[in-house]
């Protein structure tokens, strides 16, 4: 009897240990943030409708399927959701171990894109064509730089010295320079902004921040004086200041002028889905990518625009909340970096469509057409989920 009882007890303890391991493995799933996921999916859905409307008339006139762009974007969404799941499942703390590898891969891709392997479109060489899919390495580089800098600052336990600051600057400047050569001035700005915010949160002392700020201003003035920025890029950066001048014709201010007209014509409730004249007649160039917000403003009006901006505010709110409750500094830095990139891209993109910011070619996250951008942003949401689920 005692032998049988001992065996039963041993088996019961073994089952309890197995069950405990399963519970430990799946415990993070209980802390999933559904608001974060639903907000990203809602923005993507709105983007699909806006892209379809933006290209409907143009594709029909060319005898092409109106679903051409939508089918590609849906495929990117599916891949992005899978990437989100993968990014959420693997413990984010393991990223510190592989930060150098991730950064190295991103750097290699950035080098390849400016070689003959890169694809040129609209005067910019920013993509690598892989089996019909246009990969944009600069989007992947954003995550790589974020992870690399967060790993360095975490290792310094929130007290980085000059050596750590120099390493982080190098990690930022190298990919930024490669992106600038494409040329892609807008994404280059994102790298600088990301590094600055991570320094601010990562414990860099005030005197160093002031010194870096002065150095950045000096470097910007030097770049402008040395004519390292092409004339057309300078014109794009300054055209919004006088975009209302009709004498500029089809110049750099044309996009901004037509964009403001489109959004203003939407008034409060919009003209209605597929009823936007500026949209259907393609008066706004690139209205399915960088200027997708004009479609929303014209067809859905002020109310529709506020819904989109409200969803972005929800994402920013959830990201900041995750940063505050993160288990360690690495998680906090990852979440803060994501929020910083999201806030900047939304502000610049929407700002250039309403004429208060220069045209820099920064897409609207989740909404603008672009497979790599959509996939990367879903992966970024997965990263936020990861930090949130493992906060205990």
- Please indicate, yes or no, if residue 313 is contained in any of the structural domains: yes
Q: How far apart are CA 53 and CA 162, in angstroms?
A: 51
Q: How many domains does the chain have?
A: 1
Burial 69-86 (b: 16+ CB within 10 A, else e): bbebbeebbebbbebbee
Q: What is the model's pLDDT at position 282?
A: 73
Domain of residue 193: give its range. Answer: 33-389
For residues 96 and 142, the answer to whether their CB atoms sit within 8 Å is no
Residue 383: which residues within 8 A CB-CB, separation 6 or more?
Answer: 87, 88, 92, 143, 334, 338
How many Å separate Cα 293 from the centre of its chain?
Answer: 16
Q: Coil, strand or helix: which one is 63?
A: coil
For residues 145 and 194, the answer to whether their CB atoms sit within 8 Å is yes
- Please indicate, yes or no, if residue 58 is contained in any of the structural domains: yes
Q: pLDDT at residue 311 above 60?
A: yes
Q: What is the model's pLDDT at position 234?
A: 62
Give, for 125, the enclosing helix (H) or strand (E). Answer: strand 124-130
- Please indicate, yes or no, if residue 4 is contained in any of the structural domains: no
Q: What is the model's pLDDT at position 382?
A: 94
- Please indicate, yes or no, if residue 276 is contained in any of the structural domains: yes
Q: pLDDT at residue 335 above 70?
A: yes
Average pLDDT for 131-145: 88
> Residue 25 — very low, low, confident or very high, per pLDDT cuts 50/70/90?
very low
- Please indicate, yes or no, if residue 26 is contained in any of the structural domains: no
Q: pLDDT at residue 121 above 80?
A: no
- Please indicate, yes or no, if residue 5 is contained in any of the structural domains: no
- Please indicate, yes or no, if residue 258 is contained in any of the structural domains: yes
Q: How far apart are CA 16 and CA 185, in angstroms?
A: 57
Average pLDDT for 63-83: 92
Q: How far apart are CA 169 and CA 160, in angstroms?
A: 12
Q: pLDDT at residue 106 above 60?
A: yes
Average pLDDT, the chain: 84
For residues 277 and 9, the model is more confident at 277
- Please indicate, yes or no, if residue 9 is contained in any of the structural domains: no
Average pLDDT for 337-366: 90
Residue 202 is given by DSSP the state T
Nearest to 286 by CA among 122, 140, 126, 134: 122
Q: pLDDT at residue 381 above 90?
A: yes
| Per-residue tokens: 352 | 């250039």
Q: pLDDT at residue 24 above 80?
A: no
Q: Classify residue 41 as exposed, middle or buried by CB count within 10 Å of its CB (0-12, 13-18, 19+).
A: middle
> Residue 254 — very low, low, confident or very high, per pLDDT cuts 50/70/90?
confident
Residues facing 133 on adjacent strands: 130
């Amino acid at each position: 009897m005692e032998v049988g009882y001992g065996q039963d007890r041993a088996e019961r303890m073994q089952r309890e240990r197995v069950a405990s391991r399963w519970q430990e493995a799946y415990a993070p799933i209980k802390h999933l943030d559904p608001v974060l996921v639903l907000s990203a999916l809602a923005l993507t859905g709105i983007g699909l409708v806006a892209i379809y409307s933006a290209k409907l008339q143009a594709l029909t006139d060319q005898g092409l399927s109106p679903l051409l762009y939508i089918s590609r974007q849906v495929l990117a969404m599916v891949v992005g959701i899978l990437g989100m799941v993968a990014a959420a499942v693997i413990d984010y703390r393991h990223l510190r171990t592989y930060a150098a590898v991730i950064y190295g891969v991103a750097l290699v891709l950035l080098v390849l894109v400016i070689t003959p392997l890169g694809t040129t479109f609209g005067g910019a060489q920013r993509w690598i064509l892989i089996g019909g899919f246009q990969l944009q390495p600069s989007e992947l580089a954003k995550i790589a730089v974020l992870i690399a800098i967060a790993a360095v600052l975490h290792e310094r336990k929130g007290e980085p010295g000059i050596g750590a600051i120099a390493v982080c600057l190098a990690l930022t400047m190298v990919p930024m320079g490669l992106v600038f050569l494409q040329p892609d001035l807008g994404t280059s700005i994102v790298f600088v902004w990301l590094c600055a915010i991570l320094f601010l949160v990562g414990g860099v002392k005030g005197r160093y921040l002031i010194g870096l700020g002065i150095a950045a201003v000096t470097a910007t003035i030097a770049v402008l004086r040395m004519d390292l920025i092409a004339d057309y890029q300078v014109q794009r950066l300054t055209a919004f200041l006088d975009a209302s001048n009709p004498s500029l014709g089809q110049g750099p201010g044309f996009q901004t002028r037509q964009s403001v007209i489109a959004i203003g014509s939407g008034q409060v409730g919009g003209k209605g889905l597929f009823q936007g004249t500026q949209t259907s007649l393609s008066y706004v160039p690139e209205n399915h990518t960088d200027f997708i917000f004009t479609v929303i403003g014209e067809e859905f009006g002020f109310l529709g625009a506020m819904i989109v901006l409200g969803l972005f505010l929800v994402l920013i709110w959830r990201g900041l909340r995750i940063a505050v409750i993160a288990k360690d500094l690495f998680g906090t830095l990852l979440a803060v970096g994501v929020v910083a990139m999201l806030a900047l891209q939304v502000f610049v993109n929407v700002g250039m469509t309403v004429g208060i910011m220069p045209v820099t070619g920064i897409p609207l996250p989740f909404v603008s057409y672009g497979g790599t951008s959509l996939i990367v942003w879903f992966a970024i949401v997965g990263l936020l989920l990861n930090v949130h689920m493992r906060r205990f």
